[in-house]
């Protein structure tokens, strides 16, 4: 059984909310997109990505004759390939829209997503929005940020996070939907045993709230709606200057 609830807030600085999300327990699809671009183009990019993904996941549900325009990754399951293809299609949708209008030029969006079918979870990401997984009371970040800071930390063990905490390029994204015709999509898969909690969030959350606080809220708050709202409220209280979105998913194994 899957229970989920998402909360998105414009925040205390931005004039509009460029975060969009989908939470569809029937499809098993959950995603958060954090758009960017002027003239409200970020909102457009994020919604285009969400719509494109939802459309493909809906069309491909139990349809083994579905067309795979980006080929098949043999290392992934059927559902892993569905999620991978959905993200590729979202990138194409956003990129083409950005090319078609001067108002939308340069727009893009991050995406984090999860496709849950039975006890199987496929998790995808592009950009610096995140997916966390809580199992056994411990919270783990299961996606990797596509950012300048994450790249530096991954390639130079001598550099500590605090060494680049104030660097002007620390939040520069190295991979987004819509920035170019092709995109690098990160997809991982795992088996759910029951009792797990997934948190999908934009950087308006993880940029302001420590992992320990996210873990505490998810561990101590049973209701998905209450947990998501507490996370958003805490991000705002901690001074987040961005849009803030938290989507909480709880999985319980069928008896």
Bridge-based pairing state of the strands 138-141 and 130-135:
antiparallel
58: which 2 tokens? Answer: 């809906």
Compute the CA torsion angle 52, 2, 212, 147 (nearest 10 deg): -20
Helix, strand and coil content of the chain, in percent to the nearest 5, comes to 35, 30, 40
Give the chain's domains with CATH numbers.
2-251 (3.60.40.10)
Main-chain dihedrals φ then ψ at residue 110, nearest 5 degrees: -85, 170
How many Å apart are CA 150 and CA 106, to the nearest integer? Answer: 23
- The rounded average pLDDT for each run of 10 residues, N- to C-terminus, in the chain (255 residues) is 97 93 98 87 96 96 84 95 98 94 88 96 97 94 81 59 54 84 96 96 95 97 96 97 97 83
pLDDT of 197 reads 97
Residues 6+ apart with CB under 8 A from 190: 120, 121, 123, 133, 142
Residue 86's nearest CA partner among 2, 24, 37, 41 is 24
User: Could you please report the per-residue DSSP string of 131-155?
Assistant: EEEEETTEEEE-S---BHHHHHHHH
pLDDT of 163 reads 45
The pTM score is: 0.93
What's the maximum distance between 2 C-alpha atoms anywhere in the chain?
A: 54
Residue 249 · residue 200 · CB < 8 Å: yes
């Amino acid at each position: 059984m899957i229970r989920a609830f998402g909360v998105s807030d414009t925040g205390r600085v931005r004039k509009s909310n460029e975060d969009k999300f989908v939470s569809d327990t029937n499809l098993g699809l959950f995603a958060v997109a954090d758009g960017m671009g002027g003239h409200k183009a970020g909102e457009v990019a994020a919604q285009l990505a969400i719509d494109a993904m939802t459309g493909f996941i809906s069309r491909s549900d139990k349809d083994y004759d579905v067309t795979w325009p980006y080929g098949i990754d043999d290392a992934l399951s059927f559902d892993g390939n569905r999620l991978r293809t959905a993200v590729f299609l979202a990138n194409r949708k956003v990129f083409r829209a950005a090319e078609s209008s001067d108002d939308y030029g340069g727009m893009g969006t991050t995406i984090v997503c999860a496709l849950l079918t039975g006890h199987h979870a496929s998790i995808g990401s592009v950009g610096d929005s995140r997916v966390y997984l809580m199992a056994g009371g411990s919270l783990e970040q299961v996606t990797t940020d596509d950012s300048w800071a994450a790249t530096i930390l991954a390639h130079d063990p001598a550099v500590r996070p605090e060494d680049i905490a104030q660097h002007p390029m620390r939040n520069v994204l190295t991979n987004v939907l819509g920035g170019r015709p092709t995109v690098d999509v990160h997809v991982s898969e795992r088996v759910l045993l029951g009792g797990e909690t997934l948190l999908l969030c934009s950087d308006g959350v993880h940029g302001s709230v420590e992992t320990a606080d996210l873990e505490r809220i998810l561990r101590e708050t049973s209701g998905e709606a209450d947990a998501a709202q507490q996370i958003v409220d805490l991000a705002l209280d901690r001074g987040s200057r961005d849009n803030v979105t938290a989507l909480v998913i709880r999985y319980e194994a069928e008896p």
